[in-house]
Amino acid sequence: MERIPILKLGDFLLVTIQVDMHDQLAITLQDDLTTQIAKHASRGVLIDISSLEIVDSFIGRMLANIAAMSKVLDAQTVLTGMQPAVAITLVELGMSLSGIKTALNVERGMEILRQFSDQSYELQDANGFQE
């Protein structure tokens, strides 16, 4: 069965989307990803779409869904490597991808996730101090 691999890198998970997404593949990816987040207690998800030249409303919705699911599981989603043409298409489709942070490449995406992770730890510490 075809599935998109999810790579664990420390506290984060990395997914690179290279193939055309269809319904079943998208559902499998959402299932796999949420399972992996829960299993490893991951703090963030990096989705690299640098090899996607076309993004339609289906992929846009899938990305928004993944981000929403991750957020509920306390993981931040960062989308990396978006090509300029894809950004134009997304806005023209009326999808602003609210709730998803974006970064030009995986390294910057990692930095964003680390900052987010540190901040939420500080927040937890601060809350613990108030009790």
Q: If 0-12 CB within 10 Å is exposed, 13-18 middle and 19+ buried, where does residue 11 land?
A: middle
Beta-bridged to residue 12, according to DSSP, are: 9, 44
- Selected binder of a copy of itself within 28, 36, 50, 65 (CB under 8 A): 50
- Selected binder of a copy of itself within 19, 27, 85, 88 (CB under 8 A): 19
Give the H or E element holding residue 24: helix 23-40
Q: Binding to a copy of itself by residue 99, rule CB under 8 A?
A: no
Q: Binding to a copy of itself by residue 110, rule CB under 8 A?
A: yes
The residue (of 100 and 110) whose beta carbon lies closer to a copy of itself is 110
* DSSP secondary structure letter of residue 36: H
Give the chain's radius of gyration (CA, Å). Answer: 15
- Which of the ranges 44-52, 61-69, 113-121, 122-130 carries the binding residues for a copy of itself, by CB under 8 A? 44-52
Residue in 17, 8, 19 with CA at minimum distance from that of residue 44:
8
Q: Binding to a copy of itself by residue 128, rule CB under 8 A?
A: no
**Contact (CB, 8 A) for 14 and 46:** yes
- Selected binder of a copy of itself within 81, 100, 113, 117 (CB under 8 A): 81
Contact residues toward a copy of itself (CB under 8 A) are: 2-5, 7-10, 14, 16, 18-19, 48, 50-51, 81, 105-107, 110
